[in-house]
Amino acid sequence: MLSAITNTIANQHLANIALNPIAQVSIETTLKAIGRPAAILVDKDISPDTKQYAASKEFLYQATCLLTFLGIIVPLFRKGGFQLAKKVLFKDKPEFQKFENVKEFEHYMKLTKKSIEDRRLTLQKEKVKDKYHPDVRKDLETNENPETYPLIVSTIGVFNLMGSVLGLAVLAPQVSHMFIHPALRLLGLEEKNKKGTEEQKTAPAAKIDTKA
C-alpha cells in the first residue's frame, strides 16, 4: 500500500504534467471549477437561491476561463511563439531552422526518450519518412543520446508561461465576463437572485441573517 502511494507520488508522467504550465493550469482550473462551487453549496450561512447563483457563477467563470485558455491561448502562444522565435527572435540560430513547427519538435523530443532501435523503427514508418531535417534524422538514427536543444525547449516554455499569464489574467476574465451574465439569465438564475436580494432588502431588520 505504502509503496503504491510512493510510486504514484514519484511518477514520471505526473512529474512531466507538473512541469508543463499548460497541463498544470488546466488541471488547477478544472479543480477550481469543481471545488469552489462545491464549497459554496456546502456553506450553511447562505440562502439556497444565493448559493445556487454564486456556485453557478463560479463554475461558469472557471469553465469559460479553461475553454478560452485551451481554445485560444494555447494554440496562439505555443505555435505562434515557436514561429516568432524561428522567423524573428532567433532567425540566426541553426537549431530553429531544423524544425518546421512546434509539433515536429515535440515529436522529436518524444523520440529522444526512446531507445535507438525503437527510434529507427519509428523513423521507417510512412508517416515520418520525410519528416525530419537530414541532420536531425541522422542524429536520431546514429546517436545514443541525441541533442536536446535547450534553447528551443526554453523558448516553448517561456511562451507557454506568457500565454498562461496573459490568458488567465487578461483575456479569459474578459471573455467569461461577457458570457456569464447571458448564461445566468438563460438559466433563470439572475432574476431569481435579484428577487432574493429585493426580498432581503424589504424584509424587517430583525429577520436579516447577520451571519451572512
Partner 1 sequence: MNEAASKFLERAFLRLGNLRKPIYPVMMIAAGKGIFRPMFTMMDKKEEPETKRYTAIREGLTELIAIPTYYFCGKASASLSRLFPPKLQGNAATNLMFIGVCGAALFAIPALCSVAIKPIMDAIHKKKAPEPQPIVLSGTVKQSKFPVKYHNNFNSLNTFSSRMPDAYRLNSRIGGV
C-alpha dist (Å) from residue 43 to 11, 13, 31: 36, 36, 18
35 lies in the site for partner 1, by CB under 8 A: yes
Dump the DSSP string for 127-194.
TTTTTS-HHHHHHHHH-SS----HHHHHHHHHHHHHHHHHIIIIIHHHHHHHHHHHHHHHTTHHHHHH
178 lies in the site for partner 1, by CB under 8 A: no
Tell me which amino acid residue 96 is.
F
Closest CB 63 distance from partner 1, rounded Å: 16
Closest CB 18 distance from partner 1, rounded Å: 4
12 lies in the site for partner 1, by CB under 8 A: yes
Q: CB-wise, 38 or 203, nearer to partner 1?
A: 38
Fill in the per-residue mask, 114 to 153: x = in contact with partner 1 (CB under 8 A), - = not in contact: ------------------------------------xx-x
Fill in the per-residue mask, 80 to 109: x = in contact with partner 1 (CB under 8 A), - = not in contact: --------xxxxxx----------------
Q: Is 177 exposed, middle or buried (0-12, 13-18, 19+ CB in 10 A)?
A: exposed
175 lies in the site for partner 1, by CB under 8 A: no
203 lies in the site for partner 1, by CB under 8 A: no
9 lies in the site for partner 1, by CB under 8 A: yes
168 lies in the site for partner 1, by CB under 8 A: yes
**Nearest-5° angle of CA 177, CA 183, CA 186?**
150
Q: CB-wise, 155 or 193, nearer to partner 1?
A: 155
Binding partner 1 (rule: CB under 8 A), the pick from 1, 4, 42, 169 is 169
List Cβ<8 Å contacts ≥24 apart for 154-159.
Answer: 155/81, 155/82, 155/85, 155/89, 155/90, 156/78, 156/81, 156/82, 156/102, 156/105, 157/21, 158/81, 159/77, 159/78, 159/80, 159/81, 159/82, 159/84, 159/85
Binding site for partner 1 (CB under 8 A): 6, 9-12, 14-15, 17-19, 21, 24-25, 27-28, 31-32, 35-36, 39, 88-93, 150-151, 153-158, 161, 164-166, 168-170, 173-174
